[in-house]
A and B are shown apart, each in its own frame.
Chain A
């Protein structure tokens, strides 16, 4: 079975631009969560979605948004990129919300220049 798939693996954007990151969960997993890992820090929670509905939001500005599609895949969108948005963005999927059996993808490395 395929694990959690994230695309792209790497990308470079310019300040002020917009970026869309994509995540395909493990088959049968209905919940997707997004985390941001800045260099030297642990992953920080951004969003959790379950059955296309937002179930949790971390302490991130409104420039960050996400959605989940009927096939349970998800997109993370970041507008008006700042240098500080440079990070590894991790997607994790789980069967249900409220259960902590998360499986993480390998992440998307975003560099903002």
Chain B
């Protein structure tokens, strides 16, 4: 039973355009949502996060939006760059004893020059 779902396995965008990566979750007990980026032969690298009490968090070219009523979050990358090409994982976590990360399957983003 997947609690974090990334239903699109891949996304291809033109350099300079916006990339929108989507994620849905089913567990309403999640308190934090995170996006990780992963290159081949490397571990996941933290990108950006959002608390369940917020609906938007921005860090440079990366913005994460959270819609709690829809149990949906999205990562926007503007403008997209070829170096952004990687696998992006959406993850969710609770607090305290429930701080383990629950990951989605990941989305492969390809940014075309």
Contacts and interface: CB of A to CB of B under 8 A. Distances in A.
Interface of A: 4, 33, 35, 40-45, 48, 55-56, 58, 90, 92, 97-107
Contact of A90 (B43, B100, B106): B43
Contacts of A44: 103
B41 interface: yes
Contacts of B101: 33, 35, 43, 45, 92, 100, 102
Tell me whether chain A's interface is mostly helix, strand or loop, or mixed.
loop
Interface residues of B, number: 26
Contacts, number: 60
Contact of B105 (A41, A58, A90): A41
B44 interface: yes
B105 A40 contact: yes
Nearest to A91: B43
Contact of A100 (B6, B49, B89, B105): B49
B4 A42 contact: yes
Contact of A99 (B6, B34, B42, B99): B99
B8 interface: no
A45 B102 contact: yes
Contacts of A40: 105
A90 to B, nearest CB: 6
